[in-house]
Structure 1
Amino acid sequence: MRLLKWLLLLALVLVLVFFWPRSEIPQSLFEPHPVLAIPPERAGSLLAVTDFIARTERPADLYPYPVPLGDVGPSTPLFSGPKQYPFYCGWHRMGIEPPLVDNEQGYGVAIYADDDTLLGYSKDCLHPSRLLWYRLGVDGSVLPYQGGDLAAGELLLRVELGTIQRYFYLVVMPVTAKEYPLRTGQSQWNQKLIYQFHGGVGIGFRQGDLRIERMVQRRSAQLRQGYAVISSSANRTSHSYHFLRAEEVARQLKQHFISLYGEPEMTIGIGGSGGGIAQYLLAQNTPGLLDAAIAQYSYPDMLSQVIYALDCDLLHNYYYFTAEDKAFWQPWQHRQWLEGLSTVPDQQVRHRNAISAAQLLAGLKPTPMQGATQCINAWFGLSSVVHNPRQGRLRPFVAPELLQQQHWSYWEDLVDIYGRDEHGFAHSLWDNVGVPYGLLALRAGQISPEQFIALNARIGSWLPQHRMQAERGRFIPRLDTPIWLSAFGRHNMTEPRVTDSGLAVAPRYRANREAIERAYRYGQLFIGELAIPVVDLRHYLDPVLDMHHLQPSFMARERLQQRGNDHWQRIWVSHPDYTPEREAFAAVVDWVRHGEAPASVSDRCFAGDGKVLAQGDDVWASAGACQQIYPALSNSRQQAGAPSHGLLLQCALIPVQQAIARGDFGRVDMTPWLAELKQIFPDGLCDYQQPDLGYPPDWHDEGISSPIEPWLH
């Protein structure tokens, strides 16, 4: 029966490959109102950072705030780099009228009148500011308001919508009916301001959108307490992880708010995932923007997760395609030895049928899959979305003829900071030269030296950016559903080459060191320079294989500890059935007002009913009560021996023979495999006792130690 299943699957694959030649993206999968052409000029400047961004003065903002109603806000960057094009407008997702026409040359998106008459084109997606009014009901409903009495328990909200730096902004203020329709009424404001950040995975080139009703519902409890709320689509990482651009918009939006209502008593950030990253980085890079942060489901920065997340597909390719002992790697426990992330026995592997089809297409018998891991179920396909310049989003938002001209990746979004290589592609900062995958498993006796050698010989790396190709697939007619034929993006991975000794070794990838240094200097990496209260708040999601695992909270803590700033952070972890958001707001308000952390903000963990299970300074220690209830796990780089703070993009190298002599392999004597190790690691193994090679060298000279140094002692 199983044989018949695989034969039918093989027949389907062969039909897709040989009889469905249609591989281009169907027109129906393109986003509406695509960008038609790119203007030749890019106005704006990039801040020159020679030291560190937090110590670099920003240029004066001479815009005469506030933004007048009926006008657009500032739209030419002062310091976050030239305007990015293509730039896709997002008005249609918000149900508002199109942006202003700003050219007749066909740049940007086409703008039509109601009678389908072409009015012109918009390259910058600018919208005049306007006021909108909503009633927040006791049941959480958000309805438009056009005057009149409010029902019992209803809260009236004035919402200002416009654009700053081409991104949508919102200002939400609780008011009374007597203040309708005035712009500046603020009788219900408690003098505290919330900056709402948003998460997601984005690669730039889009204005994005803000869902007013959703944001009001999310912040309904605080709005009823009198908080004002501001937000921008530039502070939503599903659009971009360019935090210099995010900073400039946040600065200008807050200045706009102050010009209308005065200086708030405090500004509290909140947001999850990428929204948590934004708070860590903006608090570090631009002191004074936020007074406190509630970072939910956070990572310390985007790069720290990309480094190990891009390992996942390489490991999957090894398990299913290049390993000789494929069956050994299917039990979920075995994969965790290499991946470090959570694993469960009772979930199915994501896209298992597509993986089996790709194995058949490669002439391999499909491998039975036992359990699932976070590495595959949470991170599957990230390599296509953020790392592959030929792929990016499945649903393109530019005309087909532009699609092939543009590079689509996280690296390209930040090319003004990271720079380009000799082929014209943005530098990738991902690096795995010298990484001994599975080193801790080898030391623990979980895998043999032979398995360690085979793994590291064949895992390879990602191809250089200029050699990568789009994902290979076919779209089922009419349904426009893709069937992926390039599982894990394996066609963009290096292939084993036979060395002089006869061992087949897949090459590794070395990143550009200057680009890594610029990531440090421009604040794209969190180095622990932070001096505001932070409640790092998350549900414990490791058991459900969600990408928001617990360990990144401790990455951030270790970096703060190195700088002597860990007293500014508290880690709260809760069962998914309870969210202690109300307690977090009360705690940070008290913290800001008194200048020191109150007892109510200590490290803690919560049960599903809201009960505090444990609290105190030691609950997250290795034997601490919270650590026992909600254990933090690991990742592929830690399993390769890298430090747990994760701030190491390019490792120093130590010759293999010296690594063996020093004891890097623990009690395992790798001398009999010295020849093979030299073939796999010709330049040496990662020396994790040394700092990141991309760490700015002058920071050492100035006495600014790198995060690795405390781990040397």
Structure 2
Amino acid sequence: MRLRRSTFMAPTLGLLVSGLVLTAPSPASGSLEAHGSPGSHGGGKGRLAVETVSNPRADLVSGGDVLVRVTGAAADARVTLLVNGRRTKTSLVAQADGSRTGLVTGLRKGRNVVTVHRGWSMAAEVVTNHDLTGPLLSGPQQKPFYCETEAYGLAPAQQPDCEAPTKVTYQYRSGSSFKPLADPSQVPADAATVTVGGRTVPFVVRLETGTINRAVYQVAGIYDGTDPSPTAPESTWNDRIVYTFGGGCNGGYHQGAATGGVLDATMLAKGYVVASSSLNVLDNNCSPIISAETAMMVKEHVVETYGVPVHTIGWGGSGGAIQQYTIAETYPGIVDGIIPSISFPDVVSTNGVNADCRLLQRFYAGEGASWTPEQKRAVTGFLNASSCQSWDVAFGNRLTATDSCPPIIPVEARWDPVTNPDGIRCAAMEQFVNQVGRDPRTGFARSPLDNIGQQYGLEALRSGAIDAEQFVTLNERIGGYDPAGAVVPERSRADLRAVRASYRYGMLNTASRGLAETPIIDLRTYADVAGVPANFHTAEWSFVMRDRLRKANGDADNQVIVAYLPVPELAAAASAQALQSMEDWLTAIGGDDRRGSKAAKVVRNKPAALTDSCWLPDGRLVPTDWEAGGDACSSVYRIGSNPRQVAGQPMTQDIVACALRPIRWSDYGVAFTSAQRSRMRAAFPDGVCDYTKKSRGWAPAARPWQRF
């Protein structure tokens, strides 16, 4: 239940509280104001109002404290703050915009009423407080859960919450590296300096490490000689946060020994506070839903430590990009703008290509061994023939029950069909059990993986790269996976419950919710050339998301794609340019008080100089039209495809389990013998993919901020 907005004019607190009217809860805040809704945050005049600002979701506060803002009270007005009817020791500190802020502590678990009154006027907010160990929205947590606090220099921790006392340490910048600093008041002579907001100070960083939501979090910011305060922000903080996300994708059951990284000299030197946690690394936790929950909780703590940010920028590559795209889509507001690099749109889409590559690599080692390198490449769609191989080597084991288990999980605790059938399964889909459920017949998480009806090599056949016999042999021999992730002769058939969950909860990112209102700079480190490590990060994925944005919203004007070669100098220049461009973009949006939707404001405030572009090998940044081609960028940065696109999926690549139709022999442009036709019918007994129709098991996307 929540407090309904109403007007109260009474001389005593008892009458004020007794006058509250209770109604059904809203999805977010439970606020009431003495005389209607608050206007802008600024100013000391007008209607009295109180709101949570460390977490805009007043129903998802954690840790027993919350930063609140009070507006509508003149600078000399006496304002009383109460929690659950009792006075607090919280000091409300005047801010430059005329509001007052204060950190409310001692919240009880569950619902709390935070009340302010000024004379005869009153306002209140219902705040729901949760344990700092979670969960708040992601559902039941994995158990067992192995702790790794000691990897960060924290005290040992115990399962399942893995809590450890918070630790503050200091680093200083010397040359091109950070070094430990025992006493921040004694800065070594070799320390660099940094200038933020016109103030030059030694490049000393305050690094806070602790545990939130069973993850180890880290927060870094320039240290100005005083401890940070949420009501008196640091002089060396630019009032902005960068939240970093790490890559990979794995099944969880452990805390993780690394965060997304917070000691970034470029970001810190500009005055950003940089935050991350171990459950914002997808290789520790392949659920963007858990990642969103963790980022929300860590960000709340950052705000309660440093103050209210102007905006928060997301940053990270590969799995870090998946988290940014998915969080902005399904849990909007945690990050305000995103800079994904070497991006993928989501886990489910990516896992389909990963699964295809393992099957293709096995085919090429067997029946397809005599194929030429070009024929193999043509079926994969990649420009680099080794891209499919790198998928198999790097991530094929994430499909299996135990091959990807991290060393922290004891061998005796892992699943074995005979000796330990209830043991830990490390497949990536384990992180989605709360969304998809578990198959009671197998004990494994229900899987959306499907290749029924998928015609591998279809475009290669049509182009003449492979012949009819090769096409038929490939499709009758390709196989699929059993529930434990072993390759089997039968194709993989999706569990339609898992397919529905994929569409509903953003595991397949349709770009139809929060992404339309999110500024996006997609940094594409170009990995489509021979000799580049981990070259499964191919460029077509940036355009998969672009086409999804267009399909869902009519355009993709809020996304900019910038490509660069994997050269350190170009990488540094591209990163710096993207960060500054996002800063300019978000600042312009924040200053736009004209009418229009949030999506419209995002597009009209995009900096004029920020366009699709590429960094040429000589270090020049030049604009491009990726679709039109024919320019300097297209000559350096060719865009390929992948096995699912070669099999007929459109660029949106948003079909999890294709609808089926009968084989039409006229579609292929080649002649099949009678024997080959019979073998094709046997390979596709239910028909072939019809990509003009929605996926089997399709469901409309649920509204954002789903809870499990």
TM norm structure 1? 0.72
1:387 to 385, 393, 399: 399
Could you say which residue in structure 2 is the equivalent of 1:634?
641
Decide whether aligned partners of structure 1 residues 272 and 236 sit closer, same or farther in structure 2, where only a CA change above 3 A counts: same
Q: Distance in 2 between matches of 1:62 and 1:164?
A: 9
Question: Could you tell me how far 1:401 is from its partner in structure 2?
Answer: 4.8
Q: Distance in 2 between matches of 1:297 and 1:680?
A: 35
2:364 to 319, 334, 351: 319
Matched, 1:643 2:650: yes
Decide whether aligned partners of structure 1 residues 398 and 457 sit closer, same or farther in structure 2, where only a CA change above 3 A counts: same
Matched, 1:587 2:576: no
Could you say which residue in structure 1 is the equivalent of 2:455?
436
Structure 1 residue matching 2:218: 3-state secondary structure? strand
Alignment of 1:118-157 (within 5 A): 121-150=158-187, 151=189, 153=193, 154-157=202-205
Could you say which residue in structure 2 is the equivalent of 1:260?
305
Q: Distance in 2 between matches of 1:431 and 1:286?
A: 27
2:628 to 621, 624, 637: 621
Decide whether aligned partners of structure 1 residues 332 and 257 sit closer, same or farther in structure 2, where only a CA change above 3 A counts: same
Could you say which residue in structure 1 is the equivalent of 2:31?
none
Could you say which residue in structure 2 is the equivalent of 1:54?
none
Could you say which residue in structure 2 is the equivalent of 1:375?
388
- Contact residue 175 and residue 185 of structure 1 kept, 8 A: no
Question: Could you tell me how far 1:561 is from its partner in structure 2?
Answer: 0.9
Could you say which residue in structure 2 is the equivalent of 1:65?
65
| Higher normalized contact order (CA 8 Å, seq sep 6+, divided by chain length) | 1
Counterpart code for 2:216: F
Could you say which residue in structure 1 is the equivalent of 2:617?
608
Give the strand-richer structure, 1 or 2: 2
Question: Could you tell me how far 1:431 is from its partner in structure 2?
Answer: 0.6
Question: Could you tell me how far 1:412 is from its partner in structure 2?
Answer: 1.6
The C-alpha deviation readout for 1:473-529, integer Å capped at 9, x for no partner, is: xxxxxxxxxxxxxxxxxxx2223xxxxxxxxxxx21211112111112112121113
Matched, 1:82 2:140: yes
Q: Distance in 2 between matches of 1:76 and 1:594?
A: 35
- Contact residue 145 and residue 159 of structure 2 kept, 8 A: no
Structure 2 residue matching 1:557: 3-state secondary structure? helix
- Contact residue 154 and residue 167 of structure 2 kept, 8 A: no
Counterpart code for 1:417: Q
Matched, 1:95 2:95: no
Structure 1 residue matching 2:609: 3-state secondary structure? helix
Could you say which residue in structure 2 is the equivalent of 1:210?
258
Question: Could you tell me how far 1:167 is from its partner in structure 2?
Answer: 0.5
Where in structure 1 are there 5+ consecutive unaligned residues? 1-47, 49-56, 100-120, 345-372, 469-491, 496-506, 703-713
- Contact residue 197 and residue 275 of structure 1 kept, 8 A: yes
Q: Distance in 2 between matches of 1:290 and 1:181?
A: 22
The C-alpha deviation readout for 1:541-577, integer Å capped at 9, x for no partner, is: 1113512111100011000111235111000001212
- Contact residue 476 and residue 683 of structure 2 kept, 8 A: yes
Deviates more, 1:187-196 or 1:197-206: 197-206
Question: Could you tell me how far 1:624 is from its partner in structure 2?
Answer: 5.0
- Contact residue 91 and residue 98 of structure 1 kept, 8 A: yes
- Contact residue 588 and residue 601 of structure 1 kept, 8 A: no
1:685 to 660, 685, 688: 688
Could you say which residue in structure 1 is the equivalent of 2:443?
424
1:226 to 244, 250, 271: 271
Structure 2 residue matching 1:215: 3-state secondary structure? coil
2:561 to 556, 562, 571: 571
- Contact residue 428 and residue 512 of structure 1 kept, 8 A: yes
Counterpart code for 1:164: I
Could you say which residue in structure 2 is the equivalent of 1:494?
488
- Contact residue 169 and residue 253 of structure 1 kept, 8 A: yes
Give the helix-richer structure, 1 or 2: 1
Matched, 1:277 2:314: no
1:532 to 508, 518, 524: 518
2:551 to 562, 578, 590: 562
Alignment of 1:397-408 (within 5 A): 397-398=409-410, 400-403=412-415, 404=420, 405-408=423-426
Counterpart code for 1:550: A
Matched, 1:509 2:546: no
Could you say which residue in structure 1 is the equivalent of 2:475?
456
Q: Distance in 2 between matches of 1:670 and 1:629?
A: 42
Question: Could you tell me how far 1:326 is from its partner in structure 2?
Answer: 2.5
Could you say which residue in structure 2 is the equivalent of 1:367?
none
Could you say which residue in structure 1 is the equivalent of 2:355?
310
Counterpart code for 2:471: F
Could you say which residue in structure 1 is the equivalent of 2:540?
551
Counterpart code for 1:336: R
Q: Distance in 2 between matches of 1:464 and 1:185?
A: 52
Alignment of 1:651-666 (within 5 A): 651-656=658-663, 659-660=664-665, 663-666=666-669
- Contact residue 576 and residue 608 of structure 1 kept, 8 A: no
Q: Distance in 1 between matches of 2:697 and 2:142?
A: 27
Aligned length: 546
Question: Could you tell me how far 1:622 is from its partner in structure 2?
Answer: 4.7
Q: Distance in 1 between matches of 2:229 and 2:649?
A: 57
Deviates more, 1:533-542 or 1:203-212: 203-212
- Contact residue 160 and residue 170 of structure 1 kept, 8 A: yes
Question: Could you tell me how far 1:189 is from its partner in structure 2?
Answer: 0.5
Question: Could you tell me how far 1:162 is from its partner in structure 2?
Answer: 1.1
The C-alpha deviation readout for 1:96-123, integer Å capped at 9, x for no partner, is: 3212xxxxxxxxxxxxxxxxxxxxx533
TM norm structure 2? 0.72
Q: Distance in 2 between matches of 1:234 and 1:204?
A: 9
Q: Distance in 2 between matches of 1:58 and 1:518?
A: 27
- Contact residue 503 and residue 701 of structure 2 kept, 8 A: no
Question: Could you tell me how far 1:139 is from its partner in structure 2?
Answer: 3.1
The C-alpha deviation readout for 1:178-222, integer Å capped at 9, x for no partner, is: x1698976110111111111112322111113369x631xx2112
C-alpha RMSD of matched pairs (Å): 2.8
